[in-house]
Structure 1
């Protein structure tokens, strides 16, 4: 008898693991593509750089809100982008308490160089989404369901209302 692999469970029990595996595969292949262009680039930088290209200088909070990620994630990306020389932070002209992230000349150069690759990656992502029967729409539905009721609350309800879990 053939044993099923954990990650092959098609019922959704391993949703988090499957999404992490898919994300890792995409990141690994994107990194290989950047390497072909002779560029050391971390895939996690894309969202932050894209926001700066679209909107100009932004604060960590603004970028986090635009991308739907944590301030910590944006700060970590900002730090590694600063270390690479692609962005810099400086006080906002109108509010000195607030720092804005800017593309440096080196960052502008990088984004111009990578733009054709990013356009190709976007096309491939759209094509893959179609091949996957609109995975993005499914992810949107799951995110909406979790906003309505968290995973924690859903599990807690099962544990509190189902006899085998209540200790009966």
Structure 2
């Protein structure tokens, strides 16, 4: 049994971070190998825009459950690269909406086959173990549990006993 396995839930965050870093590095390696100037961190915004075509920064933030500020920074970075543009909403001039530029749309179309292959590869990986096929369901259950009581609250409850 390795170090991480021996500590169980005590190092869950470290194991998930390590898994995430490995996963994202490999995904970025695929993009680079296929000469696609794309970063895995852009995926959520690109995916939402590929389905919605035009969305507000608030909508993206709400969908991803991250701060408006974080999405604004990511959108600004994508704007600087010429991949998206923001304009005032036709309905509400105070609201900014995000759309692909021609360059962004072209890149989105180029990376869709990678997304498809990635999805197939991940499904294949999940089928290799007895428990890994339930991985996404287990993560969903953890997320649901944390929405009812944070880890902080749960730890504090045990420290107060």
The alignment's TM-score, normalised by the length of structure 2, stands at: 0.90
Residue segments in structure 2 that go unaligned for 5+ positions in a row: none
Distance, in Å, in 1 between the alignment partners of 2:50 and 2:2 is: 46
Deviation at 1:33, TM superposition (A): 0.3
Q: Hey, what does 2:28 align to over in structure 1?
A: 31
Distance 1:19 1:58, change over 3 A: same
Q: Structure 1 residue 69: deviation in Å?
A: 2.8
CA–CA separation in structure 2 for the residues paired with 1:4 and 1:33: 29
Unaligned runs of 5+ in 1: 162-168
Residue 138 of structure 1 corresponds to 138
1:56 alignment partner in structure 2:
53
Cα 1:25/1:4, change in 2 over 3 Å: closer
Whole-angstrom CA distance in 2 between matches of 1:74 and 1:157: 33
Matches within 5 A, 1:87-126: 87-126=84-123
Larger-Rg structure: 1
Matches within 5 A, 1:148-159: 148-159=148-159
Displacement of 1:80 after TM fit? 1.7
Considering only aligned residues, what root-mean-square deviation do their CA atoms show, in Å? 1.6
Q: Deviations over 1:58-80 (max 9, x none)?
A: 11110122223332332232122
Residue aligned with 1:12, SS: helix
User: Does structure 2 retain, via aligned residues, the 8 Å contact 1:58–1:102?
Assistant: yes
Higher relative CO (Cα under 8 Å, sequence separation at least 6) belongs to: 2
Give how far 1:10 is off: 5.4
Deviations 1:129-157 (A, max 9, x none): 33323211000111111111111111111
**Secondary structure at 1:14 match in 2:** helix
Identify the match of residue 75 of structure 1 among 53, 72, 76: 72
Residue equivalent to 1:166: none
- In the TM superposition, residue 4 of structure 1 has moved relative to its aligned partner by 4.9
SS, match of residue 27 in structure 1: helix
**8 Å contact from structure 1 (residues 59, 100) kept in 2:** yes
